[in-house]
Amino acid sequence: MKYNPFKVILWLLFSTWVLLNSVRLFIYGFVISFIIVIIDRAFFGTRKRSDKQFVNLFCTFTVIAAVCYTFSPYFRSLEFKISHPKWNKLEVLSIHKEETRKVSTPLNFLEMIYTPVAIHYVDEKGADQIKNEKIKHYAIVGVEPFFSKQIIEKELEYIHERSLNKLIDKKAVNLYQHPLKDKMKMFKGNDAFALRHSIGFQIALVLAYLLAITLSIYTIFNYRKLKKHMRSASTKERKTACIILFILLYSYAVIAITIIHYLKFK
């Protein structure tokens, strides 16, 4: 059996991304997809399309769960609370911040700002405890002269201070204690989405840049071919052309939003 190298690479990247978050995401994608396929097969669909339908649904729902798990503090906390009902949530009394620090590289790719914080909480025995952690945010990826390093740092400081103050004021830290072991799990923030706390933001932005460049070049040199596929009677050819154009437009949208946000601090 022959395997498409491109598909193998995509599956490896997909699996690595999910496993870096939580193996439970595979289970959620499998269960939801299995239920949908069974319902469709029993009442609406045919047996012939079940296998392909399952794979498509599995990838879609697992990717959605992985995106939420990577960028949503609220989703991570909620998912853990539901999947670990026996763990005890601890009361957070206060959060105190220390001196903010920066980490930078020449190309700004790993530019990060972080602040050590001391989290005062009450353990299961009612005693006051302190847990030391770091609250961090990553910068917009931009190479000079297209992006000014000073403006990137200014924007990053603003994002960090705003998120840090919100976290401290609302004591938005969720601490969970294992019922039997001396093991604790912590989730920082209650925001629906907080893109800048994870290096996944920088990786996603770099991918958007690469996709925009490569697909733009591909579209320019294959314009007639794509136009022919869009008008083709073949569903597969139309689908391929639509996917390419959708990814291209999506990458343009991500870059446009990033540039507009960057210009706000100019």
| Helices and strands (DSSP H and E) totals, the chain | 8, 6
Spatial contact of 37 and 55, defined as CB atoms under 8 Å apart: no
Average pLDDT for runs of 10 along the chain of length 266 = 60 77 88 86 65 82 88 89 91 91 76 92 88 91 83 92 91 90 87 84 87 90 85 79 88 92 89
User: Nearest Cα to 155, choosing from 135, 137, 169, 136?
Assistant: 137
Quote the pLDDT of residue 71.
85
Residue 16, classed as helix, strand or coil, is: helix
- Give the whole-angstrom CA distance, residue 196 versus residue 202: 8
User: Nearest Cα to 116, choosing from 101, 105, 104?
Assistant: 101
Task: State how beta strands 88-97 and 173-177 pair.
Answer: antiparallel
Quote the pLDDT of residue 201.
86
Q: Where are the beta strands (DSSP E) in the chain?
A: 88-97, 101-103, 112-122, 128-138, 173-177, 184-188
Quote the pLDDT of residue 1.
43
* Cα angle 100-105-110, degrees, rounded to a multiple of 5: 70
Work out the number of other CB atoms within 10 angstroms of the CB of residue 175: 20
pTM here is 0.78
Q: Which residue has the tokens 């603003």?
A: 158
Spatial contact of 110 and 90, defined as CB atoms under 8 Å apart: no
